[in-house]
Copies of this chain bind each other. A is one copy, B any other.
């Protein structure tokens, strides 16, 4: 099944490129990939408790404390008291944080256009569908493994 390995190689190579692509833009900035991921969640879902962030990013609450500390120091987010639960804190994007996120969204769109610039509409359609199928299958496999590995 040489076919299969060729597909997997393509996926791996692409995954590697994506990773390097996402790490680079922040070089020199105070933004790291983990912190940018947190900003992305805030941008997508709005002000969130640290618990919610921990769940969304699949890390421990302690880890969120550190990330929010960093982002607060750099002025990208602010901590506010939760309106009804005095144990919790609401993390919100500051103006700077919102600006940065808008830039990231724009850059992402630009990147997406660039990426498929040389593909015909039919090719894009086929690729989109194929990627989706592959990701669905992959997700199923990972879920099955988790259920088996650590029940």
Interfacial residues, chain A to chain B (CB-CB below 8 A): 1, 3-8, 10-15, 17-21, 24, 108-109, 111-119, 121, 123-128, 130-135, 137-139, 141-142, 145-146, 149
How far does the alpha carbon of A118 sit from the alpha carbon of B137 in the complex, in Å? Answer: 9
- A1 / chain B contacts, CB cutoff of 8 Å: 109, 112-113, 116
Given contacts A130-B126, A134-B127, contact A21 B142 (CB under 8 A): yes
Given contacts A5-B109, A112-B1, A112-B4, contact A131 B11 (CB under 8 A): yes
Nearest residue (CB) in B for A137 is B115
Q: How many copies does the complex hold?
A: 2
Given contacts A24-B145, A142-B21, contact A14 B131 (CB under 8 A): yes
Which of B10, B112, B117 sits near A131, CB closer than 8 Å? B10
Given contacts A1-B113, A134-B115, A137-B118, contact A127 B7 (CB under 8 A): yes
